[in-house]
Amino acid sequence: MTPRRHPRRINVPMIWTLFLVAACTGQGCREDSSSISDTNAAPRDAARAEEALQAIEVWLGKGDASKARTIAERLVEVDPDSPDAREAHAITLVAVAAETAAGGDEETAKSLRSRALSRYEEAIELSASTPRPDMLHASGIIAESLGLQQRALELYTDASEGAPDNASHAIYAGNVLIKMERHADAESWFDKAVTIDPAEPWGWAGRAVVFRQQARFEEALNSIRQARRAAGGRGTRNDLVFRVSEARILRESGRAEASARLLFALDAQTRANSAAVTEELHLACELIGEHARSAQVWAEFHAAHPDDGEALFMVAESWLRAERPEEAASWYRLAEDLGLPEELIDRMKRKAREAVARDRSGQ
């Protein structure tokens, strides 16, 4: 039987699914359509099906994923041959899963995502030979979130075949291949991505990761610097993630001083607000023996994130390694004043003393 298609589908950007949606953007929602959103009656024809899809979109836009889910479930019951209905249900399940995970119940959230993937798979099957690339891609994201890497790769591959001019499908395929430690295959997909769209920074960044993991550091540097140029060409002022990647490549290739210079070139506020920058700077400073500078970097981070107890202990450890025990002692006293457990403080002191011993032994 030829699958029936509704005249429209939910107008939710694919990127919403990518981030597992805290709430739908509501793009395309009409304010005056809220009057239909309370009905769970079966759509008797295409017009009623369209009305139900609009209602789902409205409730997602308002952040009420549970209400949207109820309508979507009813729509699947009354229109079981519609891929749009099953896709709508999948989207609402992903939204409910995001809310559930935010509430701390990851086990239930995972179950909801698994059910969402099943609905996506059903929608793909009902779409016969022409499933939409964006639906395939969204399904891949959910499969990947569930650890189903091979299935995710298949879905991204199918999406790429359906939309060969879209670099994002190739980038996601490359990313999942990195997780699968299939470096040669990942490199091929990232090469494809930068061929499709040389101005897309994430394709270059993916190549850099593959090269770094194989210790092909010069190729990795060339790629990550191209990613930074591409980001700048697209008007992206904040290239922080690419800068951190470049710093890591420099450090791992034995150029820790250059790594530190790259990140110290950032303003203090940007450094302090980024855990990734702080951690990478710490590692570079360790390698070049600049423990006092590491302590200062951690102190700046702690000032911006006063609830981060680990940062507090990293300041103290760095001062000990810089052979300034009085500075370290003041941070341990601060930990006591903040009410951190005594056993935790003692454990972190031991860890710091072990790090100092390694420094002195030259390890």
- Measured in whole angstroms, the distance separating CA 77 from the mean position of its chain's CA atoms is 34
Distance CA 168, CA 172 (A): 6
Say whether pLDDT at 44 is over 60: no
Higher pLDDT, 23 or 318: 318
Q: Which pair of structure tokens corresponds to residue 335?
A: 């930990």
Higher pLDDT, 38 or 131: 131
pLDDT at 12: 41
Cα→Cα distances 283→207, 246, 306, Å: 23, 14, 21
Mean pLDDT of 210-229: 96
pLDDT tens for each residue of 316-343? 999 999 999 999 999 999 999 999 999 9
pTM, entire model: 0.81
pLDDT tens for each residue of 67-117? 999 999 998 988 888 899 999 999 999 999 999 999 999 999 999 999 999
pLDDT tens for each residue of 148-163? 999 999 999 999 999 9
Mean pLDDT of 131-146: 95
Strands, E, within the chain: which ranges?
Answer: none
Q: Which pair of structure tokens corresponds to residue 337?
A: 């004043």
pLDDT at 207: 97
State the chain's mean pLDDT as an integer: 86
DSSP assigned state of 35: G
**What is the amino acid identity at position 102?**
A
Strand, helix or coil for residue 11: coil
